[in-house]
Chains A and B, each alone.
Chain A
Amino acid sequence: NAGVTQTPKFQVLKTGQSMTLQCAQDMNHNSMYWYRQDPGMGLRLIYYSASEGTTDKGEVPNGYNVSRLNKREFSLRLESAAPSQTSVYFCASSVERVNQPQHFGDGTRLSIL
């Protein structure tokens, strides 16, 4: 049982390049999330999907787009990467959006040069 799987684990991009971070969960969870974690800033929510077919902005959505492809998969896209987007990105899922604990993937370490 893999839980939450993120790909890739590491990526280096040049400013202006685009890329998509992939996330899949096999726990039949309804809700999925994307966070970024920066030193001294803690975990910050970028976007979330409360249920299949819905997406909503979190605290820091600018520069990102998301797609809830199906119940299992939730992707995060950087259309034009900027150095300020250098961070560790975590995908998480939970049974429901509210009042439920979240289960995290291993993270993607992204560097933008």
Chain B
Amino acid sequence: QKEVEQNSGPLSVPEGAIASLNCTYSDRGSQSFFWYRQYSGKSPELIMSIYSNGDKEDGRFTAQLNKASQYVSLLIRDSQPSDSATYLCAVNDDKIIFGKGTRLHILP
């Protein structure tokens, strides 16, 4: 059974600090990884895609992929109250698997 695991949280981070969200996956052959943000009562929205080992940066967001250790992480720099949401990690190759999400709370 292929799985994607995330700590459910809540993860509380002071405004302006770096929020670090982690995700592990079970299928060593997985190739494509995605982070989605979901505000309460809203639909998931794509933040980052990452396919290769290493870091990928987009504005305040950095996705990190380590295939040898089978984890993918999302860093949010200069955290803002508007970043408070649930963050979903997903793998989409031969199967589509979403983690259950980590709730992030940015403290003003």
Interface of A toward B, CB cutoff 8 Å: 33, 40-45, 48, 58, 90, 94, 98-107
Contacts and interface: CB of A to CB of B under 8 A. Distances in A.
Interface of B: 31-32, 34, 42-46, 49, 51, 88, 90, 92-94, 96, 98-101
A58 B46 CA distance: 21
A94 B88 CA distance: 17
Contacts, number: 47
Contacts of B99: 42
A99 B44 contact: no
Nearest to B91: A99
Contact of B32 (A40, A42, A99): A99
A98 B92 CA distance: 6
B49 to A, nearest CB: 5
11 contacts: A40-B100, A43-B98, A90-B43, A98-B92, A99-B32, A99-B51, A101-B34, A102-B34, A104-B43, A105-B43, A107-B43
Nearest to A48: B96
